[in-house]
Each structure stands twice: as C-alpha cells, then as structure tokens.
Structure 1
Amino acid sequence: MAEKRVTLADVAARAGLSVSAASLVLNDRPGIRISPAARERVREAARELGYRPNLAARTLLTSRSATIGLISDSVTTRPWASALILGALREAHSRDHILHIAETGTDIATAAEALDSFLDRSVDGIIFAASRARELELPDRSIPVPFVMLNATSAAGDASVLPDEFEAGRAIAGVLAAAGIKERIVVLGRDIGAPPDWVDTLTVRRRTAGIAQTVKEHDMHLAAQLPLSAWEPEPGYEAIADLVDSGETFDAIIAMNDRLAFGAYQAMLERGLRVGQDVSVVSFDDDEFAHFVRPGLTTAALPYETMGRLAAELILTGATQPQQHLIPMPIMYRGSVR
C-alpha cells in the first residue's frame, strides 16, 4: 500500500499552529505576524515529516508553477550546445524552479504544439533556444508569459542572449597580431570579404566582421581564404592538404571553428609542419578536444553555460525587455601560437 502523502494539515498539527499560518510560513509570505520561533517550528515540522508542497494547488493559488519551459531546435542532441541547457537548469534550480524541455527540430508546427503544452501547464516563462545562432520563427500567436531567445533572435527583436562573436573575431585575429604574425595568414572556412550568403548564420557574419576589422587595423596580409560549406574535420583537412601540396607557404591559420582546425592539424602533421612552430593556429568554440590535441588549440570559447544561466535569470527577474545581451567569448590560450 502506498504511503499517505504528508499534508499541510499534518505540518500545522505538528507545529501547533493553524493550517493558514503554516501555509503563510512555507510560502514565505512577507509581512506575516508570526513569531520567529513559530516559523521555525513549522519549518522543522515540514523537514521531519518530509512535507512536499502540492504544486498543482500552489499554481492555482499563486498563478505561478515554479517551472520554465525551454523549446529548442536540436540543443539536446548537439553535444557542443548542451551547456546552454546546463546553464539554464542550474540557474532555475538556484531559484527553486524546474526546467521543462521540448525539442522540436525546425518544424514551426511542432514548436507551436510545445508552446501550447507549456502554457497549459502554467509555466512562468519560455526560453526559445537554437543550437546554432540564428533568427528563429516563433509560433504565430501571443505569448502571455515572459520569454527570451537563447543563442537566437526573433524578427520582432525580442530579448535575446547571444555570444559576442564580433569581439571574439577581433580578439582571435588580435592573438596573431600580438604574436607578431601579420603576413601569410590563411582564413579557413570563409572569405571574410565576401557578402553573407544563405548559409551564414548571425554568428558567422559577426565573427567574420570582427576578423576583418582586426586584419584591417593591423594591416595583416592574407595568403589565402578557403570558403567551405561544411565546417567539419574532413573539409578542413582536405583544404589545408591541397594548399600545402600546391606549394603555398603560410605562417598562420584562422580557422572558423575548432573542427576545421582539427582537420588542418592532421593535414600539416602528415606533411611535416609543426603546429605552434612552423604554423600558428587560432580558432573558435573551444570544443572539448581543443584541450587534448597537441599542442593545445588557442580558441575563443563559446560561453554557453553562462548564456543559459542568463536566459533563465532574465525570465525569473522579469527583465525581458527587447534587448540583445552579448556575452564575451574568453580566449583560451594554449600552445598553437608561437
């Protein structure tokens, strides 16, 4: 037989107070005229009895459910983006809230169903998240609770939390300039002078603009720009292998992400070029393997956990006015720059 659930009446009886008084204490109602000793009796009784509040009843009473809904395209299935959820989870937990997660892919109808489901459960706010920063299409309906775009923007310019990719682009190119490397630089993944095309995300455009500004400011000279449609190790490997095999010499590579940099590492290793000595390499994202390649990869880290924390904080503090919150991308200095 299942154990009987401990009720508020049980707690009140143990503490020697009325049910209404016990409720006021456990719900932290301000301005109540109950002595500190009586309040402590209520809390002690709740601990001893293992009392858990009835959330459904509390929601009816307060119109707050102590939950946040997170609707994502593919954040939970992308290892590099899961820290977005970790940050939001930790912030929600620190404020006694729970995070409910729905993954919808890019289907707007599925996202609308997830939104309706969360609203039916009286969530206190909604986070719309993307694994790769871009403008998300929101369901065509009013959203009666606070909401924030995480690693994303909306057409209406709603509150959003994004990595500061422009400053990261400036800083990562500046690492080379500070090391005295201003000649024979290869940009791997994009042509920083080309107009944005349909595959460019918001972050890519800002990242390349930041690189371009530092290149101009420091009069840096590019040996080659190698646009690639896929930023994965194999295309990075093939592009740098072809460049070396063609007889082109270069002193540094700015890779548009760590996966491209990893492919470049392998191509140079096979051809006798030493990373960090013959060729310096800088990159973006701080993927897990950036710590373990040798030499370690100098890269601008995506601050996903910090971003997730801030998104939840904005929801729970009501600070969801239309504004882009740009989070700095710290440079992780390792051995890939001479």
Structure 2
Amino acid sequence: MGTVTLRQVAELTGKSEATVSLVLNSRQFHRVSPRTRAMIQRVAAELGYVPNMQAQALVKGKTRSIAITAIGMTPFYNEYIRRLTHLFEARHYNVFAFETMLSPEREKQVVTWVSQGLFDGCICLEYNYSNRDFYEGLVRSGTPHVFRGWNALEFYPEHMIRVDYRSAISDLFAHLEEQGYRRLSVIIDSSSYFVEEDAFSVRKSLYYELIHNRRLVIDPEAWITVPIDVENHLRYCYEKTREMLTLCPDVDVLIVQSASEIPAVYKAIAESGRRIGIDFAVATFDRIPMLDYMTPPVSYIYEPSEMVADIIAGEMLAQLHESHSPGGECKVKALLALNASTRRQSER
C-alpha cells in the first residue's frame, strides 16, 4: 500500500483537505470542533496516515531539527547522542550531531547555523569556559538551547544541566586512602584544558583540592596529558604509561580520565610487573560496556547519562512547546562504582 495522503483522509471523512490538514499537520487544530477533530484523527489512525514533516515545517516555520555539539564521537558522547536521538525521533525531530574537536571555528559554525534558523534548537554537551561565549547570542535571542557541563563557573545559563563530580571523586580518594594506596598518577585528555598554553585544567584543580589533607598525594611527574589530535591514541597511552611507571616507581594508583583507554593502561601495567588490585590501583571515568570484560573489573565514576539525557530532552521540548518542564538550572551528581581494581587483594 502506498503513502496515505490528506486527500484520502478527507474523502473518507467528508471534510476538506484544509480542515484535515488543520487537524493533522498544524497547531491550529483548535479551530476545528472536537467532534470533527476526533473523527479525522480516528480515520487517519485507521489508514496509517503519517504527517508530512516538510509540510509542517513550512506551515509552522520550523525545521524540526536539533543540533548537538560534542567534543568528539567518543563512547561517552555517543551514549548521550544515541539516547537523545531516540527521544527526539520519537517526537518526530531530526537530530544532527557535530564533532567540534576543540575547534572554535567548528563550534561557531554550528551556532551560526542555529542562529540562521537551520535548526530549531541547539544542545551543547560540553559547555565550559572555552566555548560559553559562542552561545551568548542564542541565550539572548531566546533560541531553544540546553547545555550540559561539569565545570565550576561563576554563573550558569538558565537551561544548563550541571553534573557534579566533586562528591564521587572525594569518595574515590577516601576509598583509595582506606585501601592503603598513597601516590597517584593521572592520565587526562587535553580536552579538559581550556588554556592549554598555561597547562591549566579545571579537573586538575579539582583533584588537588579534593586530595588536600589526605595521606594521598599526586605525583606531579606522573601527570600524563594526551593531545586530543594525537595519532594512535591507545598506543600513546600505552607508551606513556610504561614510561611513567619506569620514571615514578613509587606511584601505586593511576586515574584514567577516559574509560576507552583502559585496555592500553592495563597492558602497560601488566608488562611493568605491577599487579592491579594487589600492589597497584586503577580507576576511570565513564560507564562503557568494555569495562565489564576487563580483569580485574575496573572502579569508575560515571554520570547517570540516561537520566541526564532525559532531562536535556525535556528542557528542549519544553522550550519548543512540545512538553512541560519546570526549567531552570539542574544539578545531577556523578556516581561511584567500586570494583576489584581498587580493592586491595591479598597475594596468592
């Protein structure tokens, strides 16, 4: 059977195509009596009529498209994009994800497209010090927007979802201290730096703040920063971990910012003669399926990404007048999952 048309629905209901279109393709359905509206909707459902999204866009002046910006198409951001795509497509919106790779020009271009009306709204999955100026115009103009971020800013836009890592990191440090670990190393991506020339990182500052007054210390010689554009990312992590373990023999903890780097790190630690969960601890960020297959299982800090994505979608749909949402600033806490990689095991 071919595509069901407005004309077919109109013929079976005895109403004009204009009236049927008002009910099925327009926000002006209130101009039609409830009885007629119910009849048209019933016949359309029986025929399997699907609204013409292009026609709706012309009538309403909307594209029914949402732009999403993300630093990179990593497992972490892909999980958000997957969930948001599912939620918006269920409401007949198209989702376009753009990888910025920390390029200001890439991000500005997407924001310009949104400002020009090519998209109905914009979702920024990593709103921070480095890119907040790009979105000021959207905020001032009232263009639908939602931001997700974790950095401690001096002010927050109204439609921002803040993910608080502070308590989860503090709990991890307390656990490591309790297990008898003392000297930390860190692998961090350069995406956490907003002024790379000064090597200043918000996450780095947070680590030093939360480790204060503990018996744990961060070895400054064991801080590994991975360039976002480095070739063969895993090979780089592997080699730098091997090098760090040779140069810093007292280090007994490695915190890995990205869970996707864990296989390379595990291999480097094993080849150095260290034993994860016995004389060496590893923890990471993000909950990705690969972690379930690592031995020993990895401790990790993670965002409740499905819940955050649901909040993001609700905020956006409310601004698009598609649903109700209380709006305003929202704060969500990251969670800690403790596994064998940080629990001190007895030697066999």
TM-score (norm 1): 0.73
Give, in whole Å, the separation in 1 of the partners of 2:262 and 2:70: 26
- What residue in structure 2 maps to residue 274 of structure 1? 275
2:314 maps to 313
Q: Deviations over 1:166-222 (max 9, x none)?
A: 333223223324xx22442323237xxxx99627999x52x44444444335x2232
Q: In 2, distance between residues paired with 1:152 and 1:249?
A: 31
Which of 1, 9, 29 aligns to 1:11? It is: 9
Partner Cα distance (1:60, 1:332) in 2: 49
**Change in 2 beyond 3 A, CA 1:50/1:227:** same
Q: Residue 308 and residue 151 in structure 1: after superposition, are their counterparts in 2 closer, same or farther (change >3 A)?
A: farther
Deviates more, 1:227-236 or 1:168-177: 227-236
Matched, 1:95 2:94: no
Q: Which residue of 1 aligns with 2:161?
A: 161
Whole-angstrom CA distance in 2 between matches of 1:109 and 1:221: 41
Matched position secondary structure for 1:253: strand
Match of 2:53 among 48, 55, 58: 55
Q: Matched residue pairs, number?
A: 321
My pick for the range that moved more, 273-282 or 135-144, is: 135-144
C-alpha contact 2:150 2:163 (8 A) present in aligned 1: no
Q: Which of 206, 209, 216 is the equivalent residue of 1:221?
A: 216
Name the stretch that deviates more: 111-120 or 281-290: 111-120
Contact 1:73–1:104, Cα closer than 8 Å, also in 2: yes
Does the 8 Å CA contact 1:84/1:305 hold for their aligned counterparts? yes
1:337 aligns with 2:330: no
Q: CA deviation at 1:300?
A: 0.8
Contact 2:187 2:254 in 1 (8 A): no
Deviations 1:275-320 (A, max 9, x none): 1122222222334432222111111124445444433321211269
**Partner residue, 2:322:** none
Residue number in structure 2 paired with 1:78? 74
Deviation of residue 10 (structure 1)? 2.4
Runs of 5+ in structure 1 lacking a partner?
none
Question: Are the equivalent residues in 2 in contact too, given 1:133–1:201 (CA < 8 A)?
Answer: no
How many Å separate the matches in 1 of 2:4 and 2:57?
A: 18
Are 2:300 and 2:338, in contact at CA under 8 Å, matched by a contact in 1? yes
Match of 1:126 in 2: 122
How much has 1:96 moved relative to structure 2?
A: 3.6
Q: Distance in 1 between matches of 2:118 and 2:260?
A: 41
Q: What is the alpha-carbon distance in structure 2 between the residues aligned to residue 250 and residue 111 of structure 1?
A: 38
* Secondary structure of 1:42 counterpart: helix
Structure-1 separation of matches of 2:75 and 2:260: 13
Separation in 2, partners of 1:168, 1:200: 27
Q: In structure 1, what residue type is equivalent to 2:170?
A: R
Are the aligned partners of 1:169 and 1:209 in contact in 2 as well (CA < 8 Å)? Answer: no
| C-alpha contact 1:166 1:209 (8 A) present in aligned 2 | no
**Structure 1, residues 138-184: CA drift from partner, whole Å, max 9, x if none?**
2785645212234488998433334323333223223324xx22442
The SS at the match of 2:170 is helix
Residues 155 and 20 (structure 1), Cα distance of their counterparts in 2 relative to 1, 3 Å cut: farther
Partner of 1:327: 332
Pair 1:122–1:282, CA change in 2 (3 A): closer
Classify the secondary structure of the residue corresponding to 1:85: helix
Alpha-carbon distance in 1 for matches of 2:226, 2:278: 28
Q: Distance in 1 between matches of 2:83 and 2:66?
A: 14
Counterpart in the other structure of 1:297: 298
Question: Alpha carbons of 1:134 and 1:288: their partners in 2 closer, same or farther (altered >3 Å)?
Answer: farther
Contact 1:71–1:127 under 8 Å retained in 2 = yes
- Over 3 Å counting, the alpha-carbon distance change for 1:200 and 1:124 in structure 2 is farther
In 2, distance between residues paired with 1:284 and 1:57? 44
Gaps of 5+ in 2: 228-232, 320-324, 344-348
- The alpha-carbon distance between structure 1 residues 221 and 40, as it changes in their structure 2 partners (threshold 3 A), is same
CA RMSD of aligned residues (A): 4.1
- CA drift at 1:19: 4.3
Distance 1:100 1:117 in 2: 12
Q: Are residues 23 and 298 of structure 1, via their aligned partners in 2, closer, same or farther at CA, if it must alter by over 3 Å?
A: same
Structure 1 position 90, deviation (Å): 2.2
Shift of 1:126: 1.9
Aligned residue in 1 for 2:346: none
CA distance in 1, matches of 2:164, 2:10: 52
User: What secondary structure sits across from 1:187 in the alignment?
Assistant: strand
Q: Any conservation in 2 of the 1:71–1:128 contact (CA below 8 Å)?
A: yes
